[in-house]
Amino acid sequence: MNKPAKNNSEIVEIFRHLIRDRLGLLGLIIVMLIIGSALFAPLIAPYDPVALNIPDRVQGPSFVHLLGTDQLGRDTFSRVIYGGRVALQVALPTIAGALFLGLVLGMIAGYGPKWLDNLILLFFDTVRSFPTVMFALAVVALVGPSLNTVIFVIMATSIPTYGRVVRTMTLSIKTSEFIMAERSLGASTFRIMSVHILPNVLGPLAVLAAMDIPTVVGLEAGLSFLGMGVKPPTPSWGSLLNDGYSLIRNTPWLIVAGGIPLILITLGFTFLGEALRDVVDPKLRGRGGAK
Amino acid sequence: MLSYILRRTGLALVITVLAVSLLFVIIHMIPGDPVSTMLGPKASPELRAALEERMGLNEPLLIQIGLFFANMLRGDLGIDVFSNRQVTDIVLGQVPYTLTLILTSIGWSAIIGIALGCYSAANRNSFGDRLTGVLSVSMIAVPAFVVSLYSLLFFAVTLKWFPAIGAGEPGDFGDQLWHLVLPSLAIGLSWVGYIARLVRASMLEIMGEGHVRTARAFGLPERWITYRYALRLAILPTVTVIGVGMGFLLSAAVFTEIVFSRPGLGKLVIDSITTRNYPVVMGSVLFSTLIFVASTTLADIINALLDPRLRSAR
């Protein structure tokens, strides 16, 4: 049973592995660039992302506007940089929430009595039976588009993914000898779950979460593209693509500029996630990427 | 086998009932209700009451759910208040478009993905295998709606090779096929890489197993072993993934239908949301959920047919 990184030497070991793995290193660099540019957006972006400049509208790339401008003369490059903020604003709370609830439910299902396990599994299967985007649209139709709606919907539909993985791992750890020994020594259920099962589950789960970030970002962008996510004038990669779609016969630049960060973030997290997975749990190799 | 099919179908029915009930409960929990959505905030109380009664919204939640199921079993999902047509008819009219798009997409990507996966597994660590590996990850990386937009931009708007809008002339098969090329490319592309990786991994796992070694020891030709024994088992995870992936496919279809202005469930939902046509939104979501549940169930049954070991499992 592999223990997660607890001390510095293990973290150093993970980094060493990442640097040896070229694609992993590339992934790490892309991820750092995206997170860095989102964090320091006000310093990097040359213009205010929502400032209108009608005389300069629908321009191609130039030294003044690196990626051109949109139909309202807003600087596309600045909107791409600020769009990263929106993407992470949605992805981080969504994944954290789904991870937490999936962890709790999955551990209860795996460790608890059989009837509770069946009940939770049924709940997972039920939630998973909605196609995510369709479910999101049903909710948006009622409450109207907003960031919180997007976060709620994606979180709710992601819980089963984590929950099922946690359940399977808990089931296999539960029957291992060291847990039996711990139980025979009189350890409480809470102690076994928090001290022994949780640390073993966290490593692979963190990898799964890293690989899930692009899916969530893609969903947010997709809903915003449909006009069902963030509201204008907030810059999101999806709303950039929407602007580009309506101007597709005037300028190709908005679509090109809105799509590239989405491709990059997916590549970055996928490469990084795969490299991390090889370190954390070699058994998971070949489980595939973002789906 | 029959008992497995019955059990699995039973579970699917339970899940469908629960899913629809869950949808009802969520709608009741969240702020906003169908009546104000449809009539707007300034509607008079009399108008609201009339519509509430017409849609059965003044009954208690449990009765509403019960009524909904009773009507659903008769194929009645309510009446579209705008056109006075049955919601079931409106939705059913769009389902074939979406299913054609999805099946074409997954069809071409499964054929190419399985072939690539077999090639990679048979020529492990060769240049071709590595190239397939990198290409696969890159293909998985691009969200379907970005591929839709990029292919619309390059192949339809710039190069004008393919049509940009619609599903083709009704009755003209060639034209319809021509209109399917870009949308199915957009949905299928990420699946090629995904299926190739999956088939490669499971082929490699199976080629190391005892029964394959035994077959080799008996001197069976390698080609026979690869395709007759290994591939049959290696396809199992692909069947499961396609079944479960129906949710992703339906979601991807929403975007692709919007980008290419194709008729279908996704376009219907978006159009109905903009016109605040709530019953049609619910009907479309319900139908897509039914398609999804049916496809996961079917995938499990096909898996059990191909691999008898699975029949006893949950």
Q: Which residues in chain B have Cβ-Cβ distances shorter than 8 Å to A130?
A: 19, 23, 247, 285, 289, 292
Spatial distance between the Cα atoms of B24 and B61, rounded to a whole number of angstroms: 8
Spatial distance between the Cα atoms of B234 and B118, rounded to a whole number of angstroms: 9
Q: Which residues in chain A have Cβ-Cβ distances shorter than 8 Å to B283?
A: none
pLDDT single digits (tens) B263-282: 999 889 888 888 777 778 88
Q: What is the CATH number of the domain that holds A101?
A: 1.10.3720.10
Closest by CA to B101, choosing from B294, B293, B268, B264, is: B264
What is the per-residue pLDDT for A250? 79
Q: Which residues in chain B have Cβ-Cβ distances shorter than 8 Å to A267?
A: 137-138, 141
> What domains lie within chain B, and their CATH numbers?
2-73 (no CATH), 92-312 (1.10.3720.10)
Identify whether A236 is part of a domain: yes
**What are the structure tokens assigned to B264, written together?**
């279908």
- Of A219-228, B113-122, B217-226, where does mean pLDDT reach its minimum? B217-226
Interface test with B, best of A133, A161, A217, A240 (most B CBs within 10 A): A133
How long is chain B? 314
Backbone angles phi, psi at B79, to 5 degrees: -115, 135
Cα angle at A179 between A173 and A180, to 5 degrees? 120
Spatial distance between the Cα atoms of A95 and A93, rounded to a whole number of angstroms: 6
Highest mean pLDDT out of A37-51, B76-90, B113-127, B298-312: B113-127
pLDDT single digits (tens) A53-99: 777 777 777 777 777 777 777 877 888 888 888 888 889 999 999 99
Highest mean pLDDT out of A67-71, A231-235, B41-45: A231-235
* Global confidence as pTM: 0.83
A291 at interface of B, judged by CB pairs closer than 8 A: yes
DSSP, collapsed to helix, strand or coil, labels residue B70 as helix
Identify whether A127 is part of a domain: yes
CB pair distance less than 8 Å for B292 and A225: no
Q: Please tell me which residue of chain A has the smallest CA distance to B13.
A: A126
Picking from A125, A140, A286, the nearest residue to B201 by CB comes out as A286
What is the per-residue pLDDT for B313? 53
CA quadruple B285, B98, B248, B10: dihedral positive or negative? positive
Residues of A numbered 51-90 whose beta carbons fall under 8 angstroms of chain B's beta carbons: which are they? none
Percent of chain A with pLDDT over 70: 92
pLDDT confidence bin for B314, thresholds 50/70/90: very low
- What value does the mean pLDDT take over residues B92-104? 91
Identify whether A287 is part of a domain: no
Closest by CA to B149, choosing from B28, B255, B302, is: B255
Spatial distance between the Cα atoms of A131 and A135, rounded to a whole number of angstroms: 6
Identify whether A290 is part of a domain: no
| DSSP secondary structure string for all residues of A183-198 | HHTT--HHHIIIIIIH
- Top-confidence residue, B225 or B59: B225
Is residue A147 scored above 50 in pLDDT? Answer: yes
Identify whether A289 is part of a domain: no
Q: Report the number of distinct structural domains present in chain A.
A: 1
Does the interface predicted TM-score (ipTM) exceed 0.85?
no
A118 at interface of B, judged by CB pairs closer than 8 A: no
User: Mind telling me how many Å the CA of A244 is from chain B's nearest CA?
Assistant: 9
* Structural domain harbouring A262: 2-280
How long is chain A? 291
Spatial distance between the Cα atoms of B144 and A38, rounded to a whole number of angstroms: 24
What is the per-residue pLDDT for A169? 85
- What value does the mean pLDDT take over residues B4-30? 82
Picking from A126, A139, A141, the nearest residue to B18 by CB comes out as A126
CB B37 within 8 A of CB B276: yes
Identify whether A187 is part of a domain: yes
A288 at interface of B, judged by CB pairs closer than 8 A: yes
Q: Please tell me which residue of chain A has the smallest CA distance to B248.
A: A131
pLDDT single digits (tens) A21-45: 778 888 889 999 989 888 887 887 7
A178 at interface of B, judged by CB pairs closer than 8 A: no
Environment class of residue B157 by beta-carbon count within 10 Å: exposed (0-12), middle (13-18) or buried (19+)? middle
> Is the peptide bond prior to A233 cis by the omega test (within 30 degrees of 0)?
yes
CB pair distance less than 8 Å for A134 and B289: yes
Closest by CA to A259, choosing from A275, A277, A245, A279, is: A245
A233 at interface of B, judged by CB pairs closer than 8 A: no
What is the per-residue pLDDT for B32? 59
What is the per-residue pLDDT for A290? 35
Identify whether A160 is part of a domain: yes
Q: Which residues in chain A have Cβ-Cβ distances shorter than 8 Å to B23?
A: 130, 135, 138
Q: Which residues in chain A have Cβ-Cβ distances shorter than 8 Å to B109?
A: none
Spatial distance between the Cα atoms of B190 and B265, rounded to a whole number of angstroms: 21
Residues 6+ apart with CB under 8 A from B126: none
Identify whether A186 is part of a domain: yes
Picking from A130, A140, A249, the nearest residue to B273 by CB comes out as A140
